[in-house]
Amino acid sequence: MILPYTNFSVVFRPDRRLAAATAVTIDGANLIDVPRNDDWRFDPRLPEAQQAGHPVYEDNPLDKGHLVRRLDPVWGAEASTANSDTFHYTNAAPQMDIFNQGKKLWQGLENFLLDHAEDFDRKLTAFTGPVLEDSDPPYRGVQVPLRFWKVAAFMHDGDLAATAYVLDQSPDLTKDAAAQAMAEAARAGDPPPLGAFRTFQVPVADIANLTGLDLGPPASRRPAPRRSAGSTALDPPGVLRRHHHAHLAEGHMRPRPSYGRRRWRTRRS
């Protein structure tokens, strides 16, 4: 089921009560700083029972993790509406707070992409979603995704290019043990046992294989090589950023120098 919003879209899975994928184009030349309101709500186009609402996130360290980041579609004449639209539960997925807010994890990757679009006044399209597997452990009526993916597509020297990432919030347990631990935590009212956070850069084809989504033909004749955590370049040198470079070391992003201008000295999430 495709749900269009202002400046972005969500492909929703009612059977999982979560999105399968989202798509947003970031217009770096026209971004607007709109105040955050945190007005999370159900989408009236779907029954509330088919959406993962507040009870999933109540009294535990799970964040309502934006799939389309709040700041990404906030551009143009309808920036305020776009900002508000990102606070539909259909655009959220359960993410551990440390994972969601981590400057070297989910938010770090979001910052990297948004900074690039903003600093160079360019458009960049981001596709994002959870890796929805039958083995995802249950918690408070939903199966919590253990992995999330993001694909960034952009023009480079007149050609379409793309980079892809998988971020992992799995517990340090086997899948069967994780499912049992999540179920026990849900029954006891305890937080879910997540926390072995990792980030990988992967070929775009890997995302298609993981999710079953058709992401189209390869965008580049020179796809990024497969890399593993520990020495992963966040982006092939000179492709996504001509002057910016970041690395993942031990699963985390190292700080990078910033040479482009920035409109927002203090960025809200």
pLDDT at 65 over 80: yes
Provide the pLDDT confidence category of residue 20 given band limits of 50, 70 and 90: very high
The model's pLDDT over 152-188, given as tens digits with 9 standing for 90+, comes to: 988 877 888 888 999 989 876 676 777 777 778 877 7
Provide the pLDDT confidence category of residue 269 given band limits of 50, 70 and 90: low
Q: Which amino acid is at 213?
A: L
The model's pLDDT over 191-208, given as tens digits with 9 standing for 90+, comes to: 787 877 888 888 888 898
Give which of 249, 248, 223 is closest to 236, Cα–Cα.
223
Q: What is the pLDDT of residue 256?
A: 31
Give the whole-number percent of the chain exceeding pLDDT 70.
79
Q: What is the pLDDT of residue 44?
A: 97
126 Cβ contact partners less than 8 Å away, ≥ 6 residues apart? 23, 24, 25, 26, 68, 69, 72, 113, 150, 151, 152, 153
In contact, 151 and 204? CB cutoff 8 Å: yes
Average pLDDT (14-26) is: 96
Provide the pLDDT confidence category of residue 84 given band limits of 50, 70 and 90: very high
Helices (H), the chain: 79-85, 97-101, 106-119, 175-188, 204-211
- How many residues in total does the chain contain? 269
Q: What is the pLDDT of residue 199?
A: 81
Higher pLDDT, residue 154 or 89: 89
pLDDT at 2 over 90: yes
Task: Tell me which residue has tokens 């798509």.
Answer: 23
Task: Calculate ∠ Cα 105-110-111, nearest 5°.
Answer: 95
Q: Which amino acid is at 88?
A: H
Q: Which residues pair with 5 in a beta bridge?
A: 8
Average pLDDT (3-24) is: 97
